[in-house]
Structure 1
């Protein structure tokens, strides 16, 4: 009897076998430009092998609709109008229980069970990577919302940034501060790199455009966190994701913007810390869902 976890990211899939509060035998694959489900299906079958699958936890980039089992990630064009991921996985493993949540909720679950939000009753977990997502812990429970998209902080609008977003809006923090967006802005300013990792490396080496890109991203993140903190009244904010590992060129302006904007007594001095999970937090959270440590019934 085997339980699986699946992470559907903007650019990569990851899947593994759930072992308690851990996920092992993790395999990863790039999200292709077309025939996306074929690639995802192949990865799941590879991880499952000959085992009998009893449960699958799915964490997906959003938006999602947990009521209908649809995922519609903005950065996966083939699925942008909605793909029935729960039905597809159920067809693949007919006898399995399928649990489904947005990646931010899975991140929050992971941090609450094994990461930096352990013992924290009210917290916000963010992932800053190709996109920006988030999840909310309120009174010790993960907030799901009406459609499962609660905590989707990437689409908080930040002041002073009239940047078009893939969602159709303007000025979303994801459109300004995500890894993809920051690289796109830097290239537009004459930077010659191609990835968020290169952008961070060049910033640490003193490249002026790279430093400006990370300062821009960090400022927008700090603004978004200040707004979310005023709305949610949290004890702690945890930030994970690949682009969040950019270090001081991102974190210093983020903390400065947070200090400038979070001036209410209950938001002043809010702690923001790096993720307590080194790799694959969304996958860990999907595993928590699948293993029954936290189900939709446990959420608010």
Structure 2
């Protein structure tokens, strides 16, 4: 086997990395904490060391040139290979693609080519490849957790946009008179539909639970305040989903993340409210599916790397960068 790729999935709390075969089988993997602090190099060092350790002795499965896919919390500067994650303040225009490729080249002694994509995009690609969207050529993948993110695959091509930040549904405004969001806009989907947003709405009406998981449990048991908070959040999400479906002409949405794991207590009101917003004839059959994969982001990063080789679920890869061994 010499067609495996390297996948790296960078989040605010952990970094997952793996060597993945062309069929999606994870051959080797590791996970390390993202770390905290203000020194960008100090944050990178344990990640680079773990990546080097993962690749030690596995060069035979990687081919003459290693293909690397990197998914990262955003915003990203995709064509440049830089990231400025909101939840990793020390990294601002941080050259993550080059750092990953340098670590791979040192570990393998071979050239490496890498692609950077947003984590929401990688989750969408992973579900499109091996998850709930594997039977369609076009879909939107979404994550509802502490934030709301997403990505789209259109006709088996990742729709990344000019900078790699397309389909940022969490910061689509659904209430122009709404309160100001952390992004600077007003009434964004994320204000209402993310887990902490629904928890805050419930607490304003006297609910005393701890978190979104408790909120969905209480809603399932019939707590009227918890149910109303989720109704509000899912109505906002339905407006955002319908707007995106109308603009992209896509009718399959796959939704994952911590909040979505609550099941029908979330999906039932979301589907019901969609009927108020997805009304044009080409989106009136809009379908919302629960995500199936626990590691969609990591598999999506592998898929964008495989696109560099002409394999995998995507017909083309986003812009890439190349590094060669020092002489």
* Matching residue within 83, 89, 92 for 2:94: 83
* Cα 1:32/1:188, change in 2 over 3 Å: farther
Deviations 1:63-98 (A, max 9, x none): 11111111122222222x332111211221223221
1:283 matched to which residue of 2?
A: 298
- How has the CA–CA distance of structure 1 residues 18 and 180 changed in structure 2, closer, same or farther, with 3 Å as cutoff? farther
Partner SS for 2:68? strand
Task: Say if 1:23 and 1:287, in contact at 8 Å, map to a contact too.
Answer: no
Aligned equivalents of 1:77, 1:5: Cα separation in 2:
23
Q: How far apart in 2 are the matches of 1:30 and 1:8? A: 10
CA separation of 1:175/1:75 partners in 2, compared to 1, >3 Å: closer, same or farther?
farther
CA distance in 2, matches of 1:84, 1:61: 14
Q: 1:6 matched to which residue of 2? A: 8
In structure 1, C-alpha distance between the alignment counterparts of 2:208 and 2:35, rounded to whole Å: 25
Deviation of the 1:193 alpha carbon: 4.2
2 CA distance for matches of 1:184 and 1:24? 42
2:291 is the alignment partner of 1:272: no
Runs of at least 5 residues in structure 2 that lack an aligned partner in the other structure: 106-110, 320-327
Q: Is the Cα contact below 8 Å between 1:123 and 1:138 reproduced in 2?
A: yes
Deviation, 1:42, is 4.2
Q: Judging changes above 3 Å, is the alpha-carbon distance between structure 1 residues 156 and 18 closer, same or farther for their aligned structure 2 residues?
A: same
Q: In the alignment, is the contact (CA less than 8 A) between 1:230 and 1:262 conserved in 2?
A: yes
User: Does 1:41 find its partner at 2:41?
Assistant: no
After superposition, the CA RMSD in angstroms is 2.6
Residues 115 and 305, structure 2, Cα contact 8 Å, conserved in 1 = yes
Structure 1 gaps, min length 5 = none
TM-score after normalising by structure 2: 0.81
On the 8 A contact 2:8/2:18 being kept in 1, the answer is: yes
2:14 and 2:32 in contact (8 A); partners too: yes
Larger radius of gyration: 2
- Structure 1 residue corresponding to 2:77, chosen from 61, 65, 68: 65
In the TM superposition, what is the alpha-carbon distance from 1:224 to its structure 2 partner? Answer: 0.5
Aligned counterpart, 1:253:
269
TM-score w.r.t. the length of structure 1 is 0.87
Once residues 37 and 183 of structure 1 are traced to their aligned partners in structure 2, the CA distance between those partners, rounded to angstroms, is: 33
CA change 1:82–1:159 in 2 (3 A) is same
| Contact 2:83–2:94, Cα closer than 8 Å, also in 1 | yes
Match of 2:124 among 108, 114, 124: 108
* 1:237 aligned partner: 253
